[in-house]
Amino acid sequence: MSPRLPRGLAQLPLALRAPKSIPTTTACHYMPARTFGIKSVTTPKPSRFNVGPDLPILKSTPAAALERKANTLPLRSGAVAIKKGMTGIYDAQTGTRIPCTVLQLDRVEVVSHKTREKHGYYAVQVGAGWKHPSNMTKSLLGHFSAQGLSPKRHVYEFRVKDESGLPPVGQMISADWFQEGQYVDARSNTKGKGFTGVMKRHGFGGQDRSHGVSLTHRSLGSAGPGQGGGSRVYPGKKMAGNMGNEQNTVQNLKILKVDAKNGIVVVTGAVSGPKGCMVRIQDAIKKPWPEVPAAAATEKSA
């Protein structure tokens, strides 16, 4: 059994200290003094995370994501164009008619850059058209004014592989940014179809015209199994709803004609969306990158 202090001695200092000392001063008083020159005898623990400069990049990191994407990211920016309509062009050699879409570039300029250091990826922000400054929020207007650019109606981003694909801010992207014969991907919103039924939206077969079917000739039928199937409608069930007005990319469109003066780019085939919609065209990712003459690039940037 440990020795005990006499009862009177143990209680006396507490009773004396309580009224005259303030808790903050006592805390300072009992703080241990800093110790110098003493090191831990235990070795530091290795990191729980398998990351290091000499280790391979983990698959779920942004760095690995960029590395995976490197082969499918274009080397240079694209352009925003307006779909103007379709026509045909007769091939000079074969004499066959090639259906084509006419696109027009309207004051397309580089607005800003997205960089790996700041945003996590490389991209070129491109603006087109013109919007009256009074119809614009001040923050967006300041974004353009800071770059010395007029207010743009349409602003889009084009991802590029690395910083060599970032043209200087304020550079005009004209129609001769693209070459005749090269391939591009055209990205635009499809024509909106409104609220449509399942037959139009998902290609369902509908139901019989007769054989006792009444009033449900175009409906979807059953939405799923009953008891045993969970007695619920599974997520992602195809149903009626809004159709169209969603982004669609048409790949590998050949550029047939380029007219820098009028800003015209003519591509083969059809491009999604109505006339007057905005189309984003960029070098096709499934074709070899076009060879851009270095002289032309420097001349444009100057």
Partner 1 sequence: MASISPIMRQLGCLRPLLKTPESILGRRTISTAYTPKPDAVPLPSKLPKTFMSQLPTQLRPDQAPKKLKVYPPPASARNTCKDPVSAVTQSQLSTLDPTGERKALFDYRRNPRSVKPGDILRVTFKNGDPFSGVCLSIRLRGVDTAFLLRNELTRVGVEMWVKVFSPEVQSVEIVQRSEKRKRRARLYYMRQPRHDMRSVENIVSNYLKKKSALTGQRRERR
Where does this chain bind partner 1 (CB under 8 A)? 82, 84-90, 95, 97, 100, 102-107, 109, 130, 133, 138, 141-142, 144-145, 148-151, 172, 175, 257, 259, 261-264, 266
Q: Which is nearer to partner 1, 73 or 184 (CB)?
A: 184
Cα dihedral 235→238→241→245 (10° resolution): 100
- Report d(CA 108, CA 161) in Å as an integer: 21
Give least dist CB 20 to partner 1, A. Answer: 42
Give least dist CB 104 to partner 1, A. Answer: 5
Q: Which is nearer to partner 1, 74 or 127 (CB)?
A: 127
Give least dist CB 118 to partner 1, A. Answer: 23
Give least dist CB 296 to partner 1, A. Answer: 19
Q: Tokens for 83?
A: 């779909």
Q: Which is nearer to partner 1, 78 or 263 (CB)?
A: 263
Identify the CA nearest to 86 among candidates 282, 284, 245, 279. 279
Give least dist CB 91 to partner 1, A. Answer: 9
Instruction: Let me know how long the chain is.
Output: 302
Question: 96-133: buried (b, 16+ CB within 10 Å) or exposed (e) per residue?
Answer: eeeebbbbbbebbbbbbbbeeeeeebbbbbbbbbebee
Q: Which is nearer to partner 1, 133 or 229 (CB)?
A: 133
SS3 per residue for 209-232: CCCCCCCCCCCCCCCCCCCCCCCC
- Report d(CA 138, CA 140) in Å as an integer: 5
Contact of 58 with 64, CB cutoff 8 Å: yes
Q: Which is nearer to partner 1, 86 or 243 (CB)?
A: 86
Q: Which is nearer to partner 1, 56 or 88 (CB)?
A: 88
- Report d(CA 3, CA 43) in Å as an integer: 40
Residue pointed to by tokens 């698959």: 59
Give least dist CB 284 to partner 1, A. Answer: 22
